[in-house]
Structure 1
Amino acid sequence: MDDNNPVSSSPAVYLLSPEQIAGPYFRNPKLIRRNISEGMDGIPLVLRLTIVDAMTGQPVTDALVDIWHCNARGAYSGWSKVNPDKEVDVDDIGSIPRTDDDTYLRGGQFTDKNGIVRFTTIYPGFYAGRALHIHVVVRIMEGNNYLEERHVAWVGQLYFPEVASRLVLNAREYRGRAVSPLTNDQDFFYENMGGEASTLNVHILSRDSNKDGYFGHTTIGIDTFAVSTQIKPEDFDKHTV
């Protein structure tokens, strides 16, 4: 969804962004931080997400937005020893045993008065059977902290333009894999769960080289009263640090 693509200008109303599965590598590390890279090798990515109420077009303030994604080699923190070149046939939360307590490329931020969160990370790599993507969860909170009761309003995945991804995957940190990534159109979840509407707008930060990194942004329209079925309350107790 384009950052400046309201359905109508008065009042501004946004389309509901499509939900997607949380996947097997969801966990609840309770890390409130902007920089989630933890020194991981890869092309830098500055990510800006704007969360709006799709019913009113107003920014959603004080929502907790968590993101997580794999590193340049396709590994997820918490599952660093799982071979990313071998496709797994499970998608359910908690379906793959944890292998470690690493926390790289995970973290959350509270939306500001404009409904915006910003993250500093790296451009994700890929793992067998998937296109490049970032997982996102939006929770409506009663205050600016972690509370026992959490209202998960939206769960999704964000995708990347193919042109940018091809350039990134040619970089040293991403090369030498035993498998190739799927294109967006080959990815089951992209094709069947609204991936085109969840593709980031991506720009190179420097005119001279993509090695300086990328800026990615999009607007996510949610129903603040909705309760997502993609992550259940008991899922927060799985794979906690």
Structure 2
Amino acid sequence: MEDNTPISPAPAVYLLSPEQIAGPYFRNAKLIRRNISEGMDGIPLVLRLTIVDAMTGQPVTDALVDIWHCNARGAYSGWSKVNPDTEIDVDDIGSIPRTDDDTYLRGGQFTDKNGIVRFTTIYPGFYAGRALHIHVVVRIMEGNNYLEERHVAWVGQLYFPEVASRSVLNAKEYRGRAVSPLTNDQDFFYENMGGEASTLNVHTLSRDSNIDGYFGHTTIGIDTFAVSTQIKPEDFDKHTV
């Protein structure tokens, strides 16, 4: 007798990480590099991200992972002349005209056989109206011309534990701002787009202080067949370099 019972899709074996907006400071800078700091002042941050397939739990290899974030004073490269102490509309890509061609604190790496990428950067500061965060994009490679790849499978933001951030913001490179940062719980995107699940595990590199910097790590579960609506193919045409 024929069984006509509908077949349900297999459940995810790993938690699918929540997507968040790309924000107004996205650029396709085409920079493949591990060290993205470009000599920026700030407390060092060594970042390790592990990308896994949420359906299989297996590492996603050869994916291009781009990150970008603001400097210790809240400025983004490409928009260095925008006042970070003035709250702005943070929703739309390209909503704020670029002011320069700087490239600090931006770059991409390919995941290794274990799905891991590593970056050397600084602990980000903040800009008005937001908690401290790092932007992340995962692109799935479908050809040899990797710098032109537009299959964005996942767009997110990574947040920091409050205890670590309070310590960092007391350092001289971060002090003296006209505004205060939002806590994670005060941040609209953290609260409404799964920020708790996107918070990094953070540890000091030395036992007794943060003077040597921090190590931050997390695992990001993605759907490798997904096409994110947060960064569209046409955004690469508009915002490359």
Give the TM-score category using the shorter length.
over 0.9
Distance 1:40 1:3 in 2: 64
Q: Deviations for 1:101-158, whole angstroms, at most 9, x for unmatched residues?
A: 0000000000000000000000000000000000000000124652534210000000
Which residue pairs with 2:64 in the alignment?
A: 64
TM-score for the superposition, normalised by structure 2? 0.93
Q: CA RMSD in A?
A: 6.3
Instruction: Work out which of the two has the higher radius of gyration on C-alpha atoms and give 1 or 2.
Output: 2
Contact 1:2 1:218 in 2 (8 A): no
Query: How far off is 1:166 after superposition?
Result: 0.1
Deviates more, 1:152-161 or 1:142-151: 142-151
Distance 1:221 1:144, change over 3 A: farther
Distance 1:10 1:228, change over 3 A: closer
Structure 1 residue ranges, 4+ long, deviating more than 3 angstroms after superposition: 1-12
Distance 1:4 1:65, change over 3 A: farther
Distance 1:43 1:116 in 2: 23
Distance 1:89 1:179, change over 3 A: same
Contact 1:98 1:239 in 2 (8 A): no
What fraction of aligned residue pairs are identical, expressed as a percent? Answer: 95
Query: How far off is 1:202 after superposition?
Result: 0.1
Matched residue SS, 1:8: coil
Q: Deviations for 1:206-230, whole angstroms, at most 9, x for unmatched residues?
A: 0132010000000000000000000
Distance 1:92 1:45 in 2: 28
Matched residue SS, 2:128: coil
Distance 1:233 1:5, change over 3 A: farther
2:188 counterpart of 1:183: no
Distance 1:157 1:97 in 2: 22
Contact 1:7 1:15 in 2 (8 A): no
**Residue segments in structure 1 that go unaligned for 5+ positions in a row:** none
Distance 1:165 1:144, change over 3 A: farther
Distance 2:54 2:3 in 1: 13
Distance 1:3 1:152, change over 3 A: farther
Distance 1:9 1:94, change over 3 A: closer
Distance 1:177 1:147, change over 3 A: closer
Which residue pairs with 1:12 in the alignment?
A: 12
**Residue segments in structure 2 that go unaligned for 5+ positions in a row:** none
Deviates more, 1:202-211 or 1:20-29: 202-211
Distance 1:137 1:182 in 2: 23
Deviates more, 1:28-37 or 1:144-153: 144-153
Distance 2:189 2:212 in 1: 30
Distance 1:10 1:96, change over 3 A: closer
Deviates more, 1:21-30 or 1:11-20: 11-20
Deviates more, 1:229-238 or 1:98-107: 229-238
Q: Deviations for 1:65-87, whole angstroms, at most 9, x for unmatched residues?
A: 00000000000000000000000
Q: Deviations for 1:32-90, whole angstroms, at most 9, x for unmatched residues?
A: 00000000000000000000000000000000000000000000000000000000024
Distance 1:67 1:99 in 2: 20
